[in-house]
Amino acid sequence: MVKYPFHIGFCAPSRTIDDVSKYETIERYLTDRGAKVSFDETVFHPVKQFGGTENDRLAAFMRQIEDPTVDVVMPVRGGYGISRLLDAIDYEAIARHNPICCGFSDFTAFNLAYLAHTGKVSYQGPTGVSFAASVPDLTETSFLNAVTDTVWQVHFETTSDETLNLEGCLWGGNLSMMVSLLGTPHFPKIKGGLLYLEDVHERAYRVERMLLQLDMAGVLRQQKAIILGDFQGVDGRTPLREEQFAWRDVVEYLRTRLPEIPIIEGLPFGHIPERVTMPVGAMTRLTLESHRVTLTSTDHPTIKK
């Protein structure tokens, strides 16, 4: 059985969990594997869909970050809500505490804002609800590798027959959340980066429109590579009609539009149960040979024991 020999502090900067019985399930799953688990009290006091008022959610987030016994700060789930907090977050104060923060989906807004304001690395990875059922081996081992090992590494297969050896800032997350930050002080200015993207329940034309917005804003052409994760639901119901605009059309057009930038598919990351944990802001080496991609970094934060 995989072990979690550290303390995870949960809060709800976005939505909270509707079914309160899941908190007990999450706690049991993690404590059975050696973890200490704490939930900020605000997760049990929702306001509409949110985990409390804006002031409550911000205070809860900072309590977890400032608690010296907490090793990893994690939202209980994504959804929507952290965007309301971005202007009020004291990023420099967070950087001084230098926490390990991990989440994905809506949490992308914090990941990117934290990188933009401080240059510090955080994680796209599990949230509380990830532990509300049996966790796939890849999800567990990748998360533990990220927060405990001195070398972070991810391998995956791709259709590309290129041979690449690149190094740059690995960054990204949810495409919709990234686009929502364009033109704000919370959007990182990354040149020569390795940009990874995912989304869920966005049809192909909407995904392409967001990618075009990133390109027209000058973001995509400044990267060394674009790595595509899972885009669950992008083609709607299958089978596809012959005339239907689909995910393949998006990828082919992106490659035509950006012929000098490798577009790499197959990253096991997104709104799927089996997914890897990805640093946001870590200097990373990407190698691609014989259809196999390896991402490697030693620039990621780990639990200090």
Of the residues 198, 202, 208, 265, which is catalytic? 198
Q: Say which residues have a Cβ less than 8 Å from residue 59's Cβ, sequence separation at least 6.
A: 42
Q: Does the active-site annotation cover 198?
A: yes
Q: Does the active-site annotation cover 271?
A: yes
With tokens 């329940």, the residue in question is 201
Of the residues 7, 186, 271, 300, which is catalytic? 271
Q: How many CB atoms lie within 10 A of CB 280?
A: 28
Which tokens go with 87? 């202007």
CB 270 within 8 A of CB 231: yes
The torsion defined by the Cα of 277, 153, 220 and 164, in degrees rounded to 10, comes to -150
CA 90/CA 7 separation, integer angstroms: 23
Of the residues 105, 122, 180, 297, which is catalytic? 105
With tokens 């200015």, the residue in question is 189
Q: Active-site residues: which are they?
A: 105, 198, 271
